[in-house]
Structure 1
Amino acid sequence: MIAAIGIGVGIGLTLGALGAGGAILAVPALVYGAGQPLDVAIPMSLSVVAVASLGALLPGRRRAAVRWRIALAFAAAGVPATFGGAALGRLLPQRWLLLAFAGLMVAVSVRMLRSGGEGGGGEGGDSGEDHAGACRAPVEAVNRRRCLPKVVLAGAAVGVLTGLFGVGGGFVVVPALGLLLGLTPQQAVATSLVVVAANSLSGLVAHADAISEIDPAVFLPFGAATLVAAIAAGGLASRLAGRIVRKAFAVVVLGVAAFVAVAAIIAPQALG
């Protein structure tokens, strides 16, 4: 229970502050920190991240920043793709799945460490400067001819990652919203939370066969701690220095990735 609460607080804080990243730590934390089998950790992570994402949207200022049409376009492409990702995950040995997950974590952390201020997390400090590749969507619409193909492709990629690894995909959605559509950091984070919630719920349906195996003694404290931390971080996000939060988080993800890779190689029996 103590491990579950600690994991939940850390994931809720990152999700609420950055609009991304919480679930990428949830699965390895549940497997190696709370002793959950991988096939149970994935739906547990998805269910909690979905609720926490909605909780992070409770502050009125955060909800006002959501660009709903853009969020729905991402979700429409991502939701069906989660089922393909889940089906692919069932074909892979758990050791190789975790090794691939570690590779994804490394890619995410490197991108965060190298990125500047482009709509990439934390709502304070980093402004959305002009990007050459941005579609420059109007406030409530997507420039369909220029942006929709990119949105659909990015949304589908996020859906596959959600179904395959049990992650919400905010680490892809947030920079895509800033770079492709020209959203401000505040808009990108808020809109990402809607996409993460939708993808996580569809991923949970795709992994419904493992829901009955979830241990309530781990799930309830984990879920409660994540939700409370996400709501708190959502209210404080505008006061946080986004670049500092993002880079600190990237270092943590890089360290966890190394641990996951080593553990999957030398201790595959720990996967359940």
Structure 2
Amino acid sequence: MLAAALGLVVGVVLGTLGGGGSVLAVPALVYALGLSPHDSTTGSLVIVVASSTAGALAHGRRGHVRLGRGLAFAASGLLTSVVAAHLSANLPDLLVLTGFAAVMAAAALVTWRGAGRATVAADGPTHGSTLRTVAAGAAVGALIGVFGVGGGFLAVPALVATAGFTMADAVGTSLVVIALNASAALATRATTSHVEWSVVGPFAAAAALAAVGGQLLSTRVSAPALQRTFAALLATLAGWVLVDQLVLH
């Protein structure tokens, strides 16, 4: 029941903002549900694939998925996600969690700064740079492979800034990117990592359902307010993980 409840939170955030929810999954699996860091990052990939796929389908039905450019963005991250997933198996737990805390802090900063640009990006598409889009996609793929996060907190602003997407299209398309890259990383880890299905299964199912609800919520709630609230939560969690790993341990 706790796993399902946490999955609802992750799914709502992912469906509403197009990313960020999976950043909450790893600390939830480690600190609330007792999984090891490596098992948590693998379990997070299962959750990411399920919830982002459900969210992408919901956004697609409303016409907010630009599949061609989204596939190009995802393709640029497939290789980096696979390589990073392979290398992550040899990383010590301390490095995984402190690195993850740094990712959360970066996500908080990007999300907070992006909140001020959400209204502008909603006005209409602009022209983007293909080279910058490919570079951003590769960076997102690397994060997915190492930390089991979706990378949507980077994909959404990257699609707005480098591909010229509106905010609505960036949110929907980022979920396609996340689903594809997370699937590649999960396939790489399948033979070397353990998935605690009794915990991850209910978490992923609840997250997938909530991602659809999050898509509906995104049309009714102020995006900047949601982004700033989420950014504050991420910053708090990042601080806790760093204190836990570097001071309490």
The TM-score with structure 2 as length reference comes to 0.93
**Alignment partner of 2:164 out of 167, 176, 182:** 182
Q: Does the C-alpha gap of structure 1 residues 50 and 234 become closer, same or farther in structure 2, counting only changes over 3 Å?
A: same
Change (3 A) 1:27 1:210: farther
Alpha-carbon displacement from aligned partner over 1:143-193 (angstroms, at most 9, x marks no partner):
xxxx22111111111111100110111111100111122211111101101
Q: Which runs of 5+ in 2 are unaligned?
A: none
Residue 118 of structure 1 deviates from its aligned partner by 3.1
Is 2:223 aligned against 1:242?
yes
Say which one has the larger Rg. 1
Letter in 1 for 2:158: A
CA contact (8 A) 1:24 1:167 kept: yes
Higher alpha-carbon deviation: 219-228 or 27-36:
219-228
Are the aligned partners of 2:43 and 2:196 in contact in 1 as well (CA < 8 Å)? no
Equivalent residue in structure 2 for 1:262, among 231, 237, 243: 243
In structure 2, do the counterparts of structure 1 residues 63 and 194 end up closer, same or farther at CA, with 3 Å as the change threshold? farther
Report the equivalent of 1:229: 210
Q: Structure 2: which amino acid aligns with 1:172? A: L
- 1:85 Cα offset (Å): 1.2
Letter in 1 for 2:79: P
Q: 1:59-99: CA deviations, max 9, x gaps?
A: 36655111111111111111111122123323321101211
Aligned residues with identical type, % of pairs: 37
**Unaligned residue ranges in structure 1 (runs of 5+):** 120-125, 138-146
Q: Is this contact kept in 1: 2:80–2:141, CA < 8 A?
A: yes
Q: Distance in 2 between matches of 1:98 and 1:128?
A: 33
- In the alignment, which of 220, 229, 232 is matched to residue 201 of structure 2? 220
Q: Give 1:239 deviation, angstroms.
A: 1.0
Root mean square deviation, CA, Å: 2.0
How many correspondences in the alignment? 249
- Counterparts of 1:53 and 1:198 in 2: how far apart (Å)? 9
Name the structure 1 match of 2:176: 194
State the alpha-carbon separation in 2 of the partners of residues 17 and 55 from structure 1.
12
Match of 2:111 in 1: 112
Report how far residue 267 of structure 1 moved.
5.3
